[in-house]
Structure 1
């Protein structure tokens, strides 16, 4: 089995179950823009991809309105939404064991870097990560985020990397960067979406991530 030394983790839907805060902030932003979307189930499919992309593709907003809506979203998310969130079970144990094995851990997320860093601190898992690569204010694509994360490791063989995420953006971005991937099905992407993206591996639980990476959980 390939040994991966640098592991890139998505945040929402991979490390944390974050949809409540994201959806409430999404609803707040939409209301401010005159759009009423009271049903959370209509929005959960949008957890993960860049907010700007959703506003443009699904709500037909023009750039100026996208910028306004993003501002409203970030306002509520910073105040409340980022804390309406919880870690998936056994994630801290997985991170602890990986660090014991001297793995380099990176968060690669479509969230603003500052928000991602705040969430990691809130859950007291920030010390496990060597880098946090997030989106800029304009909203990078996930492929761009992954490419930026790899810049921290010049000269390292692509075989040393693996991306772990729950949406097709994670898997496609990894493939475009030339690295392997694990698609996790316990997050926000459907099994069909993830299979169609053609990941290197599929994991249905954190325990299966452990088996793929060939590590043992800390009890």
Structure 2
């Protein structure tokens, strides 16, 4: 059976504006700043890596604490992109295996899925505390496929960043880039996903076509 593995932020959850705002607020606490493009480049990378980049290894936990304090004040406002619940309902009904591969830590990943109302679709959630490496490496994708009991030859990774596409390529599976998240269409196209989708409805139709015929 076909497996569909989804990134979370910017692919399923409309969290990119909040992440950008939170990153700016956290950096400001330490007298630092970064342009929008630089911040966007760190989205999809584990927060511990971002903290180490800006503050060094000795103070990365301080950055993470500052980030989470602001993020948790506003994350209840986060929504799923329109059309996704209907898409996932149909994919699930047709027997597709569904999983998440995210750079979020365990609790924020599960919290986000609960807040946006999609938790029940995903029996497998691979997060940054799974000890399987980080995107753009293959570990999270390989772990998701293994936990689903899936076949790499029938597995697809769907994400909004070049890290997602690179992770799929590293794991030897096919990928779909979606352009409603953090990455521009041109930049995502340069990563060479197998497909590019500009709207949820387009993704919905594509994934149905990728399923075996009834």
Please report the TM-score for the alignment, with normalisation by the length of structure 1: 0.83
Tell me the residue number matched to 2:129.
136
What is the CA-CA distance between 1:86 and the residue it aligns to? 1.6
Separation in 2, partners of 1:140, 1:193: 24
Tell me the residue number matched to 2:31.
34
CA RMSD of aligned residues (A): 2.4
Separation in 1, partners of 2:113, 2:172: 27
Tell me the residue number matched to 2:64.
70
Tell me the residue number matched to 2:200.
206
Q: Structure 1, unaligned stretches of length 5 or more?
A: none
Tell me the residue number matched to 1:48.
44
**Greater strand proportion:** 1
Tell me the residue number matched to 1:151.
146
Asked if the contact 2:16–2:181 (Cα under 8 Å) also holds between the matched residues in 1, the reply is no
Distance 1:131 1:139, change over 3 A: closer
Separation in 1, partners of 2:164, 2:62: 26
Tell me the residue number matched to 1:170.
164
Q: Structure 2, unaligned stretches of length 5 or more?
A: 210-214
Separation in 2, partners of 1:124, 1:190: 27
Moved over 4 A (4+): 39-42, 137-140
Which is worse superposed, 93-102 or 206-215?
206-215
- Which of these residues, 83, 91, 99, is aligned with residue 90 of structure 1? 83
Which is worse superposed, 194-203 or 25-34?
25-34
Asked if the contact 2:152–2:172 (Cα under 8 Å) also holds between the matched residues in 1, the reply is yes
Tell me the residue number matched to 1:124.
117
Distance 1:149 1:16, change over 3 A: same
Asked if the contact 1:158–1:179 (Cα under 8 Å) also holds between the matched residues in 2, the reply is yes
Residue-pair matches, total: 207
Separation in 2, partners of 1:36, 1:178: 37
